[in-house]
Every structure is written in C-alpha cells, then in structure tokens.
Structure 1
Amino acid sequence: MSSRREFLNASLTTSALTGLSVAPARAVTRARPIVVSTWDFGVAANQVAWEVISRGGHALDAVEAGARVPEADMKNHTVGRAGYPDRDGHVSLDASIMDDQWRCGAVAALEHIAHPISVARRVLEKTPHVMLVGAGALQFALEQGFPREELLTPESDAAWKAWLKTQTYKPIANSEMSTYGHVPNSKLPGDVHNHDTLGILALDQQGRLSGACTTSGMAWKMRGRVGDSPIIGAGLYVDGEIGAATSTGVGEEVIRNSGSFLVVELMRQGLSPQRACEEAVMRIVRRRPETAKSLQVGFLALSRQGAVGAFAIQKGFVYARCDQNSVDQIIPAKSAFL
C-alpha cells in the first residue's frame, strides 16, 4: 500500500510539473511611451521630459526635468520662481513627485528655493518622510545644497504692490485666462489667473509611470496656505498597476475629494481615464453645485497602457501631449459647463 501511495504522489507531482512546463507564456504588451501635462506651458515641459524618455531614461527623471522648465520660466506667474506672492509679499512654492512603486516626496510653503520639484525628489530619496513644509523644508533644501535665492521678482513685486492698493481677492475661473496667468484685457491687479499648476505624467519605454506637480499657489493667498499640488492623493497620484492622475484649479476643492486618488481608483474599477476624470469632476459639481459654477478644477489622467483622459468644470482647460508622433500637441479638454 505504501509503495502504491508513493507511486501515485510521484505521478501527480510529475504531471503538475509537466503541465507547468508546457503552459503557454503570457504575452506582454508594452505601451508606447508618452508624456502629458496640464496647460499650454506644458509643451515646453513635455519636450524636455521627452528627451529623457527617448534616451531610454526613467519616467521619474523625465517628470522632474519637465517640471523644472516652468519653474524657471520668468513669464510664468503661477509656477516657480516668478510666481506671484501671498498677501504679505512672500513667494512660497509647493511640489510633489511620485513613481510607480508608490515612492513619493513633497514640499509645501517652501521659500527661497527656485526648484521645489527637485527638493521633493530629494525628500523621496533621502528621507523616511513624504512631505516637508515651511522652515523645515527650507532647512533640508539648503542642507542638500540648493542655493538660497530671492524669488520675488521686480514684476511680481510691482503686481503685489498694485494689489495692495485695493486688496481685492477675487480668483477668476481659468476658463477666462490667457497664457501665464493674466486675464485678457484686464488691468485689475487682483484679477489674475491665480490657480494654475503644472502637472506632468509620463510613461517610459520600460512601461514605468511617474508624475510630478508644481505650483506657486494662489496669488495673494493667506500666508501659509497650501493647495492640493503637494498633497499625494489630491494634486497627484501614481499607481504602477493602474495609472496616474494630476489636477489643476482650486486646490481646496481637489483636497476635499482626494481628487487624483479618486481618478486612479475609478480607473481601477474599470473606467477609462476619460470617464474617470469626468466622474471625479462631476462629483465636485454634484456636491457643491452653486460653488462649482464659479470655480475651475480639471483632471488629467494616464493609464499604464498609455490611454489619456482629461476633463474640467469650466471650458478652457487644455493639456499638452508628447509621443513619438508629436512633441507639441495642445488638446482642449471637455468640460461640465460650456
């Protein structure tokens, strides 16, 4: 009896191993690399990110390099060193970065450092934390060798002093804005497009996803105000199994809904990037119907297969796309309100 049992066990084991050895291998489909980012100034960011991607580089390096472009642009008053200050005259910057392995880093209310996205990358790589803020973020940046700079430019200083004469705080939905943060034909210092963000998502040649988000926040904001951009799950979220999402617009509304995380989770449930962005926006509209009519929030999403989606509350939100077929596409997003 013992010999028979041993024979049967050996036979079953051999059959199982044989079955495993002849099972067909699963086909691996690799998506074509792509970079997408919010707004028309995302074109220049995409081009730099694409240089990294086209050389076989990592998506994380690509989004950091891309985000640094608007941070250094002296014409851009909503991102980086030329950003408009808070109501007390201080320029403070926020940024976050995340890869497809759920590694992330962020800084908020960071002053005197021109490239917050690179400091956020150092938080990811050099600390056990996710976010550093204020004086602690500045201390860390200086310890990491980032130069201390005066970020309040003459142009931003002049705009702030003009605003001080009335101190009118009236953010206008970015459906009415032109490039880099000015209301067309407006001479009112308070009427600025003061809630733009550069959110950038990339899929590299190896199928790796990463994202970055950077902003100077709302012009004339209260000192210490932080929006959604540096908050993982609000302004940015990346899940290597599903996709990535970023946001732009009034950060308070995005935070209330954990917007970018919501978009990715909707994608996990089977929605396309486009449908996920639409549902996330409409959730804001349904919850705050009267408020939604006067504000802007937009989402941009990228699946691990390279599919893209974008949707906003108000018309006017555009995003930039870069792939092997084009490096400078600007695509208008659909919106809840026309």
Structure 2
Amino acid sequence: MQRRTFLKNSAAGTAGLVSSSVLASCGETDKSSTTLPEKMENIGPIVICTWDFNNASAKAWEVLKSGGNSLDAVEKGVMVEEADVENQTVGLGGRPDRDGKVTLDACIMDKDGNCGAVLCMQNIAHPISVARKVMEETPHVMLAGKGAEQFALEQGFKKTNLLTEKSKQEWIEWKKTSQYKPIINIENHDTIGMLAIDQNGDLAGACTTSGMAYKLAGRVGDSPIIGAGLFVDNEVGGATATGVGEEVVRTVGSFLIVELMRQGKTPQEACEEGVKRIIEKNKNKLDFQIGFIAINKKGETGGYCIQPGFTYRTYSNEGHLNNPSDSYITS
C-alpha cells in the first residue's frame, strides 16, 4: 500500500481523535522559542561520512556532482559498503551475533524530516534501501526482524545469505572462548554514517551497520534510531555516530549535536560537547569508542571521538579528504 493512499484513507477516521494540543506539539511548534542560526549561504555539494570509506564517499559525490539530490547520494554511497564483503561491520559479510546470524540495522532521513528504518533484519543485503522503502511506501518509521525481512521481499529485494566464510570462521574461533570484549576501532568500528548537502542546499543522511560483533541475539544499537545514530534538520544541519551504540542512545547523541548547532555552536564544537556528555556518564570506564561527525547548512564540518584512531571522509569541490579526528583521550 502506498504511504499517501494509506494516510488519505485513515485520516478521516482518526482526525476526531487528535486533540489540538497534540497537533500543536507535532506540527505547529512555536518557532519564536527557538534560535536558528543566521541565514547561511550554501557552499555547494558536499558529503561527509564516518571512517575512511573513500569508495562510499566517492559514490555519493558522483551523485551530487551530476546534479543528484542528497537523499540519493547518501543511499548510493552507503550501499557501496553494504555490498563490500571485506567490510565486516556493514551489510554482506558483517560479523554475526553470538548465534551465528548476521542481523542488519539502518536508517535514512530526508530534507523534510521524513525517515525510515529497519532493525535486526536478516537475509537482505541492502538495509538502507529497505529503510528508504519503509519511509516512502508505508505510514511507519521502523520495521523490525521478520517483519522487516518480509516487507523487503514483498518490495522485490532478494534473499541473500549474509554470512561469508571469512566471518563464519572468525565466529567459530570466537566461540572457543566466547569472550565479549569488542576491540576498539575494529569490532566496534561498526557503522557507516553519511551526511550530504546537494546543489539546492538540501540535507539528507543515512546510517547502516551489522552491529557489534557477537552481540546477544536481538541486540540493536543506535544506528537505526532516529535522533541517536542519525538526525537531520534541513534548517540547521545533520549529525551521525559510530561506536558503542548503547552510549549514543543514552544521550540521543545526533539530535543533541544538531540542537547544539541550532543554538549557534559550530559542527566541531557540537561534536565535542556530544562526546563530553557521554564521558560525563562514564567517568570510570572509557574503554570504548564513540565518534560523531556533523555538518551545518553552509557546509562546515566537524568530528570528535573518545579514543584516538577515528577518521572521517569529506568530499567537496575542495577535494576528497580523510580527516583524522581529535579525541578526548590523546594517547
């Protein structure tokens, strides 16, 4: 069922149940209470993504440079990593949970605040594209587990065995000890998050992952959660996260960073504050990695992390750069 048709058919039956106070909170917010950044001139197309995913950022830039929109750019960009069997943290070939099953999470968000997500989905190689279908073809934001897989198959996606021989053998080796101690910047370097601005100055974002290696069955981190792993506000900017998702969820990290930019902070300042909020809640145990990246409406970018080693890619008219991130812990 098309999203538009569903909403049209259900609107009449539900309109009388919605109070004026709910309408005010959902769609008629008083913007006089919010301080928006001064009107900024867009510098032109730009893409930013977590880690040194140069092929993904190059693909997104290809879409932007040819005049494509930011939503297509981020989808096509992260799909590169979803299809790369050598990347064991995203998509096909991702490391499994402790039961040997590869489960994928993803979300996507466009310039109008529309969003879609899939959680704990098996057997589908491109969760980001399924998330976009959820956004565009259903009245929902999230589909999970078997329901997400069934929806994907109904939409024409092909069933695929996501567990490669390499990841399978590593899992078998892990089972000998079954120690759950993810390695910083390796097993919890588990996400590609991407943000883009197109030639019209419009933003979109995408985030996709296979999650923590050898996690408990059913575990979902921040990556498919709008506001945690990804958030986009076309008036302000966008942010996305990587690392131990539980900590990002606890601070609603990406939403926080966008709101800090709304209040006037630069993307760099906002990312640093986002990390500091997490550190404040974990003063006695910083044995994990969190990395944030952000972009504002005029194309300024920033990134910050807890542990050394996090980098992020930018691609714009100024070039294709891998940017080492500053970190709270320096050695």
Shared fold (TM-score, shorter chain, > 0.5): yes
Please give the alpha-carbon distance, in whole angstroms, between the structure 1 residues aligned to 2:310 and 2:92: 23
Please give the alpha-carbon distance, in whole angstroms, between the structure 2 residues aligned to 1:199 and 1:325: 21
Q: Which residue of 2 aligns with 1:262?
A: 256
Normalised by the size of structure 1, how large is the TM-score? 0.85
**Aligned to 2:44, which of 32, 47, 69?**
32
**Aligned to 1:45, which of 43, 48, 56?**
56
DSSP-derived class of the 1:45 partner = helix
Q: Which residue of 1 aligns with 2:208?
A: 214
Kept after mapping to 1: 8 A contact 2:81/2:91: yes
- Map 1:1-338 to 2 at 5 A: 29-41=41-53, 43-174=54-185, 181=186, 193-291=187-285, 293-327=286-320, 329-338=321-330
Normalised by the size of structure 2, how large is the TM-score? 0.87
DSSP-derived class of the 1:246 partner = strand
Post-superposition offset of 1:283? 0.9
Please give the alpha-carbon distance, in whole angstroms, between the structure 2 residues aligned to 1:230 and 1:264: 17
Cα-to-partner distance string for 1:180-214 (whole Å, 9 max, x where unaligned):
x4xxxxxxxxxxx2342100000000101000000
Q: Which amino acid aligns with 2:65?
A: S
DSSP-derived class of the 1:70 partner = helix
DSSP-derived class of the 2:328 partner = strand
DSSP-derived class of the 1:281 partner = helix
Please give the alpha-carbon distance, in whole angstroms, between the structure 2 residues aligned to 1:28 and 1:278: 22
Post-superposition offset of 1:171? 1.2
Q: Which amino acid aligns with 1:135?
A: K
Q: Percent identity?
A: 57
Please give the alpha-carbon distance, in whole angstroms, between the structure 2 residues aligned to 1:223 and 1:156: 16
DSSP-derived class of the 2:151 partner = helix
Post-superposition offset of 1:28? 7.8
Please give the alpha-carbon distance, in whole angstroms, between the structure 1 residues aligned to 2:41 and 2:229: 29
DSSP-derived class of the 1:118 partner = helix
Give the gaps of 5 or more residues in structure 2: 1-38
Cα-to-partner distance string for 1:47-93 (whole Å, 9 max, x where unaligned):
10011101111100000000100000111000111100000000000
Kept after mapping to 1: 8 A contact 2:119/2:142: yes
Post-superposition offset of 1:151? 0.7
Q: Which residue of 1 aligns with 2:28?
A: none
Q: Which amino acid aligns with 2:275?
A: V
DSSP-derived class of the 1:81 partner = coil
Please give the alpha-carbon distance, in whole angstroms, between the structure 2 residues aligned to 1:232 and 1:144: 23
Structure 1: 4+ residue segments shifted above 4 A: none
Post-superposition offset of 1:32? 1.7
Please give the alpha-carbon distance, in whole angstroms, between the structure 2 residues aligned to 1:210 and 1:38: 15
Post-superposition offset of 1:128? 0.5
Cα-to-partner distance string for 1:284-306 (whole Å, 9 max, x where unaligned):
11121112x21111100000110
Based on CA coordinates, which of the two structures has the bigger radius of gyration?
1
Q: How many residues align?
A: 293
Give the gaps of 5 or more residues in structure 1: 1-26, 175-180, 182-192
Distance 1:136 1:32, change over 3 A: same
Q: Which amino acid aligns with 2:324?
A: P
Kept after mapping to 1: 8 A contact 2:40/2:297: no
Q: How well do the aligned residues superpose, as a CA RMSD in angstroms?
A: 1.3
DSSP-derived class of the 2:109 partner = strand
Cα-to-partner distance string for 1:115-148 (whole Å, 9 max, x where unaligned):
0000001011001110100000001000000000
Cα-to-partner distance string for 1:238-281 (whole Å, 9 max, x where unaligned):
00000000000000000000000000000011100000000010
Kept after mapping to 2: 8 A contact 1:195/1:217: no
Q: Which amino acid aligns with 1:310?
A: G
Post-superposition offset of 1:168? 1.1
Q: Which residue of 2 aligns with 1:20?
A: none
Please give the alpha-carbon distance, in whole angstroms, between the structure 2 residues aligned to 1:163 and 1:336: 31
